[in-house]
Amino acid sequence: MGELRGELRTDEPLARHTSWRVGGPARRLYRPADVHDLVEFLRRLDPGEPLLWLGLGSNLLVPDVGFPGTVILTHGCLTGLERRGPAGVYAQAGATCARVARFAARHDLIGVEFLAGIPGTMGGALTMNAGAWGGETWTHVSRVRTIDRTGLVRERTPADFHIGYRDVRGAPGEWFLDVELELQPGDGVAAMTRMRALLDQRARTQPTGLPSCGSVFRNPPGDYAARLIESVGLKGYRIGGAQVSEKHANFIINTGPATARDIAGLVDHVRCEVERHTGVRLKPEYVSVTAVR
Closest CA to 138 of 124, 155, 153, 119: 124
* From 19, 212, 215, 245, the catalytic residue: 215
Q: Compute CA distances 25 → 15, 16, 50, 207, 254, whole Å.
A: 8, 10, 14, 27, 18
Q: In whole angstroms, what is the distance from residue 15 CA to residue 243 CA?
A: 18
Q: Compute CA distances 120 → 214, 229, 273, whole Å.
A: 10, 25, 29
Closest CA to 122 of 79, 164, 170: 79
β-bridge mates for residue 238, sequence order: 243
Count of alpha carbons within 13 angstroms of residue 269, beta-carbon side? 19
Q: In whole angstroms, what is the distance from residue 244 CA to residue 230 CA?
A: 10
215 flagged as catalytic: yes
Q: In whole angstroms, what is the distance from residue 73 CA to residue 66 CA?
A: 15
245 flagged as catalytic: no
Q: In whole angstroms, what is the distance from residue 19 CA to residue 207 CA?
A: 13
91 neighbors 48 (Cβ within 8 angstroms): no
* From 166, 174, 212, 271, the catalytic residue: 166
Q: In whole angstroms, what is the distance from residue 274 CA to residue 249 CA?
A: 12
Q: In whole angstroms, what is the distance from residue 136 CA to residue 181 CA?
A: 12
Q: In whole angstroms, what is the distance from residue 245 CA to residue 31 CA?
A: 33
166 flagged as catalytic: yes
Catalytic residues: 166, 215, 285
